[in-house]
Amino acid sequence: MAVLRTVDLTKKFGDFAALDGVNIEVGEGEVYGFIGPNGAGKSTTLRVLLGILKATDGRAEIFGKDSWKDAVEIHKRVAYVPGDINLWPNLTGGEVIDLFVKLRGGNNLDRREELIRKFDLDPTKKCRTYSKGNRQKVALIAAFSSDVDLYVLDEPTSGLDPLMERVFQEYVVEAKKQGKSILLSSHILSEVEKLCDKVAIIREGKIIETGTLKELRHLTGTILLVETKEPIVGLGELKGVSGIQQKDGALSFQVDTAEVDHVIRYISRFGVSRIESSPPTLEELFMRHYEGTAGAVESGAGGER
């Protein structure tokens, strides 16, 4: 059963459609990556799922319940870390963590101390003195000290240093091992690649690609690095070949999955002396979706809504 699901979710701010028929589904024990550029609708989707914004159309459900009507019930089992974290300047980090944990209903003191130590946070300082990273730590500590079934994390590591990013990843892996689900919005693609089972790419309020990383890669094709005795001619005209680059006397290019056989046959005529193949990285996948439509991307990056 899906822990979290949206069906044709649409959210309009006046005439502007921030979300236009978004469908995502997070299963139990799954880490689901949600990627897309700024202003694509990631935060809006999460806010609708948390019952903070009301959907214009479509459905948003968590644990099979309506995320608007049953918000309070749902939130007992959900931990959320917002993207922009503003805290109360005159409360200390420790006070805010306690408040957050209490308002969800649980209280796990051992875990709180452990998390504070691991994330290296000084809980006696007032929130006004915290940097962005420290404010994120406060929200993450509150989230991970709560015993919940679903974590909704909106760009949780954008202010953390690499050391802390690793601590964060450890906790995500641990939660996953305990069978918990995580919806992770991010644009740190290496992190998504490392942690996520499934990925959805959103652009201008629409999901343009979704599936496991393997499926996405399969859809996209393979990166080949080839060195030949004779120079390859006419490669650019072949069907399914893109992104040709010269690299230290070798050629690197991407081949669509359906055309691999055909392309290998063609280049073998030129006397292959070295061939390496690798799956495309998430970054290459991501870029492929955006570079082709640079104009559209620019108009889509309409800032935070």
Minimum distance from residue 88 beta carbon to another protein (Å):
6
Instruction: Please tell me whether residue 75 binds another protein under the rule CB under 8 A.
Output: yes
Instruction: Please tell me whether residue 120 binds another protein under the rule CB under 8 A.
Output: no
Q: Which stretch binds another protein (CB under 8 A): 98-106, 158-166, 202-210, 277-285?
A: 98-106
Minimum distance from residue 162 beta carbon to another protein (Å):
23
Among 7, 65, 89, 120, binds another protein (CB under 8 A): 89
Of 132 and 247, nearer to another protein (C-beta) is 132
- Phi, psi angles (nearest 5°) of residue 263: -70, -40
Instruction: Please tell me whether residue 155 binds another protein under the rule CB under 8 A.
Output: no
Minimum distance from residue 37 beta carbon to another protein (Å):
20
Q: Which stretch binds another protein (CB under 8 A): 101-109, 185-193, 217-225, 243-251?
A: 101-109
CB-CB contact of 159 with 133 (8 Å)? yes
Instruction: Write out the two tokens for 258.
Output: 């359906």
Instruction: Please tell me whether residue 217 binds another protein under the rule CB under 8 A.
Output: no
Among 9, 35, 53, 141, binds another protein (CB under 8 A): 53
Rounded CA separation 41/304 (Å): 8
Instruction: Please tell me whether residue 61 binds another protein under the rule CB under 8 A.
Output: no
Within 8 A by CB and 6+ apart from 303, the residues are: 38, 39
Instruction: Write out the two tokens for 294.
Output: 């640079």
b/e map of 87-111 (b: 16 or more CB within 10 Å)?
beeebbbbbbbbebbeebeeeeeeb
Q: What sign has the CA pseudo-torsion 89, 104, 65, 42?
A: positive
Q: Residue 16 class from Cβ within 10 Å (0-12 exposed, 13-18 middle, 19+ buried)?
A: exposed
Of 89 and 179, nearer to another protein (C-beta) is 89
Q: Which positions lie near another protein, rule CB under 8 A?
A: 47, 50-54, 71-73, 75-76, 78, 80, 82, 84-92, 94-100, 102-105, 123-126, 128-129, 139
